[in-house]
Chains A and B, each alone.
Chain A
Amino acid sequence: MTTGSTEKVNGARALIKCLEEEGVDTIFGYPGGQIIPFYNELYDSNLRHILVRHEQAAAHAADGYARATGKTGVCVSTSGPGATNLVTGIATAYMDSVPIVALTGQVPTFLIGNDAFQEADIKGITQPITKHNYLVQDVNELPRIVKEAFHIASTGRPGPVLIDLPKDVQNAEIDFYYPDKVELRGYKPTYKGNIQQIKRAAEEISKSCMPIIYAGGGVISSNASAELVELAETINAPVTTTLLGIGAIPTEHPLYVGMLGMHGSKYANYAIQESDLIIAVGARFDDRVTGKLESFAPNARVIHIDVDPAEISKNVKVQIPIVGDAKQVLKSLNRYIKRCNSGAWIEKIKQWKKEYPLTYKQMSPDVIMPQFVVEQISEACKDAIIVTEVGQHQMWAAQFFKYKKPRTFITSGGLGTMGYGFPAAIGAKVGRPDKTVVNIAGDGSFQMNSQELATAVQNDIPVVSVILNNGYLGMVRQWQELFYDRRYSHTFIKGSVDFVKLAEAYGALGLRAERPSEVRPAIEEAVNSGRPAVVEVIVECEANVYPMVPAGAAINEILDMEEHADTPCAMPDLRKATADRVLDLEEQ
């Protein structure tokens, strides 16, 4: 450790020493002209660098690494196009409050503002999608800035921080000294909840007969699962989670009612609608969760625990706000609570669970239902980390896998970024090499970052992607089916590529399942191969995600498969047209 002593080095070397001081062991990146000095120093360092094939993947991999480990992820790119390629990944991390630090090369300070070759104002561009960002103008500021960046990214409500590094700053000499404290007058997150408010919350809970706990990603990021489960069990209240809260409580816990919102279980949505008290923890009442705000949980009082004061009363009026870290607040709240008089309420919910189970129909005898594939993954890989892309498969992964622990479900919730899953899975596997990591993918999404097969193979990262190939941009097709008169405008993508050959072309294992009986063996073979693998599963092309609350409806106005499951053939001409196109493609 060099803290306390000084040593003359250049900025690039100093940056590497800063990363080491922060305990970073792995970074994801892609070089270029304005970041060469950093890469030159990296050559002699012990930091593990994973060379991706597109900078977007570096940002997603850092994000997946962070979500799987709880540590801060780091990605690196050059200036201009390298930096702008990071943008989607940074925005994804921002929307889901994931701690990453992005390092970008920049043209030398004397050229900034000149529209120099490969100059982009990445600080300006990322201002609305970072928690904070920096342009280093003097090498002497570098250690302080890196220290602050890691502190800001990982504390309070976590989020991405970007540091833009002009080339001359990387080359300039510095007496290296790493500060051991940050001094930020304007940044002091609140961790401990106000004790008066916590006592009020406990009292409110004691008066409730129909309470529900609504847990979000904040529970996962503050490692508060145990405290959450204790709260639920002590007061005897059902728990629902957001998409990002999945894993905060085991799927099979008797008090868990599943995810709520647009594709939530019916009983979760009914329960929150009828509740008299919502205990929201690390969740932000997103529109995909509340549906139509005016009719959301009309009889409920709300306790809202969140580390970010700006989330409180943003969308829903809150009676008892508690600003603080979920884990600390729950710990303290758990000291004051007692069992609610919720016996009848729990019974009612049990009835709903029986009456409206989360299930699906086999649409025709030999076809593979996508939900079945997720169930098979759930049985074959019980302790896996599941990562997803975005679309129908993402919702099925949320609904049908049995999660046991936090940080085992990794998905782009807030931004909904197709192409996130595969690189994020690579990052997750790098961070948790002991775990099986499965990317549940769609045929559309996988094609957005399939070049990362090269990254997985070159760096020997055995991630399994199971592609639920329905030949469609399925989620959009579903909306077109339900709300646009089945006008499948530009959502048909069948025959894009032979995914098995694609995997093989990169030197990965490629497998295909076309019958239900082939699914399980293919998954097992892929997982056991210890190689990067792609399992292409040909699934029913017009399966839909149900239950579904149409956008803008109240969350108890739910479409269910009963009304729609048998209708795909009701438009035979369209089915035929689709089939003809498939034939054409197959003949080609």
Chain B
Amino acid sequence: MKHTLAVLVENKSGVLSRVASLFSRRGYNIDSLAVGVTEDPKTSRMTIVVDGDDHVLEQVTKQLNKLVDVIKVSDIGGDEAVERELALIKVTADVNARTEIIQIADIFRARIVDVAPKSMTIEVTGDEAKIQAIEKLLRQFGIKEMVRTGKIALVRGPKKV
């Protein structure tokens, strides 16, 4: 089962490497990891999607908490969180294909961010399902390159993690 962890950490060099090596050393699988500074410049927030049963999740959480630079770990998966990911998808697009690609982008409320004689780049934001859906539809044109940020998430409502 997939879990989304919000991990508040000290905004210092070396923290990412501690977290990453903890996962590899203990044999936990990271699906995605996104990191950036928060509203407090001294704190960064990692959103880590990890695959595993409850026992694995419990161990991951406890081991993360043992790191001195980790301030807080919360499991925020499920309905009570807003989850987003951004993807950039570069597709092969000659003149004939363009209209159809633009239509698909419109339906997904995605944006065309670059156009060249033989390609288009689409920016799409959404949850995992949405990104998979648009990727599937664009595949018929030929995806040259794709990049994803990894998921970020916030709990709904006024509550903070």
Contacts and interface: CB of A to CB of B under 8 A. Distances in A.
Given A127-B17, A127-B21, A186 B62 contact: no
B10 A186 contact: yes
Nearest to A317: B55
Interface in B1-23: 9-10, 14, 17-18, 21
Interface string B25-58: 1000000000000000000000000000001001
Please classify the interface of chain B as helix (H, G, I), strand (E, B), loop, or mixed, using the class held by over half of its residues.
helix
Given A123-B14, A127-B18, A186-B9, A310 B59 contact: yes
B68 A186 contact: yes
B59 to A, nearest CB: 7
A298 interface: no
A110 interface: no
A309 B67 CA distance: 13
Contacts of A206: none
A446 B66 CA distance: 36
A152 B66 contact: no
A148 to B, nearest CB: 8
Interface in A125-140: 127-128, 131-132, 135
A128 B27 CA distance: 13
A124 B20 CA distance: 12
A117 interface: no
Among B17, B21, B62, B67, max chain A CB count under 10 A is at B62
Interface residues of B, number: 20
Contacts of A184: 68
A232 B136 CA distance: 66
Interface string B73-114: 000000000000000000000000000000000000000000
Contacts of B123: none
A187 B18 contact: no
A310 B66 contact: yes
A185 B71 contact: yes
A285 to B, nearest CB: 14
B68 A152 contact: yes
Contacts of A186: 9-10, 67-72
A131 B18 CA distance: 11
A557 B78 CA distance: 46
A575 interface: no
B125 interface: no
A185 B66 contact: no
B67 A310 contact: no
B25 A308 contact: no
B25 A309 contact: no
A308 B18 CA distance: 19
Interface string A302-325: 000000111001100000000000
Nearest to A312: B62
Given A186-B9, A310-B63, A128 B25 contact: yes
Contacts of A123: 14
Given A186-B10, A186-B70, A310 B65 contact: yes
A450 to B, nearest CB: 33
Contacts of B25: 128
A184 B55 CA distance: 28
B17 A124 contact: yes
Among B63, B65, B68, max chain A CB count under 10 A is at B68
A460 to B, nearest CB: 39
A152 B66 CA distance: 11
B73 to A, nearest CB: 10
A123 B72 CA distance: 23
A310 B62 contact: yes
B63 A187 contact: no
Nearest to A131: B68
A296 to B, nearest CB: 17
Contacts of B71: 185-186
A308 B66 CA distance: 8
Interface in A179-233: 184-187
Given A184-B68, A187-B68, A309 B62 contact: yes
B65 A309 contact: yes
A313 B55 CA distance: 9
Contacts of A309: 62, 65
Interface string A85-114: 000000000000000000000000000000
A244 B6 CA distance: 37
A132 B70 CA distance: 12
B17 A132 contact: no
A128 B70 contact: no
Among B14, B17, B25, max chain A CB count under 10 A is at B14
26 contacts: A123-B14, A127-B18, A127-B21, A128-B21, A128-B25, A131-B68, A132-B67, A132-B68, A135-B14, A152-B68, A185-B71, A186-B9, A186-B67, A186-B68, A186-B69, A186-B71, A186-B72, A308-B66, A309-B62, A309-B65, A310-B59, A310-B62, A310-B63, A310-B66, A313-B55, A314-B59
Given A310-B59, A310-B65, A314-B59, 20 more contacts: A123-B14, A124-B17, A127-B21, A128-B21, A128-B25, A131-B68, A132-B68, A184-B68, A185-B10, A185-B71, A186-B9, A186-B67, A186-B70, A186-B71, A308-B66, A309-B62, A309-B65, A310-B62, A310-B63, A310-B66
Considering the complex of A and B, which 3 residue pairs feature the smallest CB-CB distances, nearest first?
A310-B62, A186-B71, A132-B68
